[in-house]
């Protein structure tokens, strides 16, 4: 059993560096955050429109397959053969009638039932039957491991935990309202993928999207063009347990002002050669906000930044590395011009995005420091030490404090 983190002192407003570097704590996070009690993001229904379509992905580090069965239901199974455990599915995506493990050719239907075992009743040689499975072998007991599945608005979540609360209770009413705002009815369309490996602890990306402070300081694009900065109207919202977050804002016209004075990322004379990157069209379902960034603990960030929409799945790989997998999407109701617009604006995001490349780089540099300095702590006290249920401005790190309050509880940190 991993040692719990010794976390005394100011509480959730100061996170010890060990929380980002310890292998033992990381193993405990996998067990308690990714493999139990939580719903993890799997993908979009639009990725598997037809029966037999499948897509391989992960929950935490564990390989799983999302598929659509013959009746059209979404199924998620673990990609581990019930015989000797082989990760039998090697393709990223495809269409299949059934799954066959290459090692000894055990066969499973799309619902994970074991349907074929070679030489189950032995092999006849010289008038005798040799070997085979024991007479009490029951294929029903040797299917693939099934995860619980929840689909809502076209996005698929799953959990290894049979006792996990409902997806709706997991999000809580406040976060669910923002989730439903985005996934508001029309079928989704997949516009493309980007993926990157970031050498930092996975939590730093959750924190980055719970940290509105940096957005108007680090990102030249946000400050100059008014997409996100400290003088924009904003709200920070969380659920009752403070594990998830929503950062909500309304864009302004950009330009100079009090919040750009002495801000080095503000470039007075910066203009775009191609201003179609910012050809923003207000969509009726937005309501007032032009940006809503949702952080769902532990596995995903869901982005609406003006017309650019994406899910960003987190796939941890040890305490110091994670993969960040972006699925850019739109709606079936979009015309070609809107699809073009979403794709063009997607240039701000993803691994080499005009905005997001900054985030990947800074959290890498933060992790380097954690690994070298060892006994420090992160100082999260912008806006106070308390955790607020909501704020109506963005000059606060309350969502980060809330996340660590929850983390300490689940991880049973010693305080
Ligand atoms: Fe899959 Fe043997 S490991 S059939
Ligand atoms: Fe950022």
Task: State the ligand closest to the CA atom of 103.
Answer: 1
User: Of ligand 1's atoms, which has the minimum distance to the CA of residue 85?
Assistant: 3
Residue 254 in this model has a pLDDT that exceeds 80: no
Which tokens hold the place of 197?
């490996």
- Choosing from 79, 82, 100, 101 the residue with most ligand 1 atoms within 8 A of its CB, the one to mutate for a pocket test is 101
pLDDT tens digits along 125-158: 989 999 999 999 999 999 999 999 999 999 999 9
Strands 128-130 and 291-296: unpaired
Our measurement of the distance from residue 47's CA atom to the centroid of its chain's CA atoms, rounded to an integer in Å, reads 16
* Residue ranges covered by each domain of the chain: 40-149, 169-411
Residue range 40-149, CATH number: 2.102.10.10
Give the chain's mean pLDDT. Answer: 95
**Is the pTM value of this prediction over 0.85?**
yes
- 289 CA distance to ligand 2 middle (Å): 18
What is the residue with the minimal CA distance to atom 3 of ligand 1?
84
Evaluate the CA torsion angle 159, 161, 166, 171 in order and state its sign: negative
Which tokens hold the place of 274?
């191609």
pLDDT tens digits along 29-61: 999 999 999 999 999 999 999 999 999 999 999
Residue 89 in this model has a pLDDT that exceeds 90: yes
CATH superfamily of 169-411: Naphthalene 1,2-dioxygenase Alpha Subunit; Chain A, domain 1 (3.90.380.10)
Say whether 169-411 and 40-149 share the same fold.
Answer: no
Distance CA(266)–CA(295), nearest Å, equals 27
Distance CA(185)–CA(154), nearest Å, equals 8
Does residue 104's CB lie within 6 angstroms of at least one atom of ligand 1? yes
pLDDT tens digits along 310-319: 999 999 999 9
Looking at residue 391, the DSSP 8-state letter turns out to be E
């Amino acid at each position: 059993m991993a040692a719990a983190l010794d976390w005394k002192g100011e509480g959730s407003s100061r996170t010890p560096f060990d929380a980002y570097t310890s292998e033992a704590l990381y193993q405990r996070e996998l067990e308690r955050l990714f493999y139990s009690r939580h719903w993890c993001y799997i993908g979009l229904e639009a990725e598997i429109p037809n029966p037999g379509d499948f897509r391989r992905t992960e929950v935490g580090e564990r390989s799983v397959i999302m598929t659509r069965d013959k009746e059209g239901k979404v199924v998620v199974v673990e990609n581990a053969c019930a015989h000797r455990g082989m990760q039998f599915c090697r393709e990223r995506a495809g269409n299949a009638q059934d799954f066959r493990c290459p090692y000894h050719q055990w066969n499973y239907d799309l619902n994970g039932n074991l349907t074929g075992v070679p030489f189950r009743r032995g092999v006849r040689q010289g008038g005798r039957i040799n070997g085979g499975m024991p007479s009490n072998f029951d294929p029903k007991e040797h299917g693939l491991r099934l995860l619980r599945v929840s689909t809502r608005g076209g996005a698929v979540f799953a959990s290894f935990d049979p006792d996990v609360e409902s997806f709706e209770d997991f999000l809580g009413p406040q976060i669910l309202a923002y989730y439903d705002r985005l996934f508001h009815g029309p079928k989704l369309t997949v516009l493309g993928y980007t993926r990157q490996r970031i050498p930092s602890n996975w939590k730093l990306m959750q924190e980055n999207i719970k940290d509105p402070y940096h957005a108007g300081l680090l990102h030249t694009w946000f400050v100059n063009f008014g997409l996100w900065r400290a003088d924009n109207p904003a709200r920070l919202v969380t659920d009752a347990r403070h594990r998830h977050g929503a950062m909500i804002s309304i864009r302004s016209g950009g330009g100079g002002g009090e919040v750009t004075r002495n801000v080095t990322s503000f470039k007075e004379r910066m203009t775009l050669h191609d201003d179609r990157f910012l050809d923003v069209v207000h969509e009726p379902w937005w309501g007032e906000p032009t940006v809503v960034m949702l952080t769902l603990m532990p596995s995903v960030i869901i982005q609406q930044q003006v017309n650019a929409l994406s899910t960003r799945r987190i796939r941890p790989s040890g305490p110091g590395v994670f993969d960040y997998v972006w699925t850019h999407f739109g709606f079936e109701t979009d015309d070609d011009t809107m699809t073009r617009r979403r794709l063009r604006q997607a240039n701000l995001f993803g691994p080499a995005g005009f905005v997001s490349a900054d985030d990947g780089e800074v959290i890498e540099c933060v992790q380097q420091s954690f690994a070298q300095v060892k006994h420090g702590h992160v100082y999260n006290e912008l806006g106070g030490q308390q955790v607020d249920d909501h704020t109506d401005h963005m000059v606060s790190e309350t969502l980060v404090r809330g996340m660590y309050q929850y983390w300490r509880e689940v991880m049973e940190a010693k305080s």
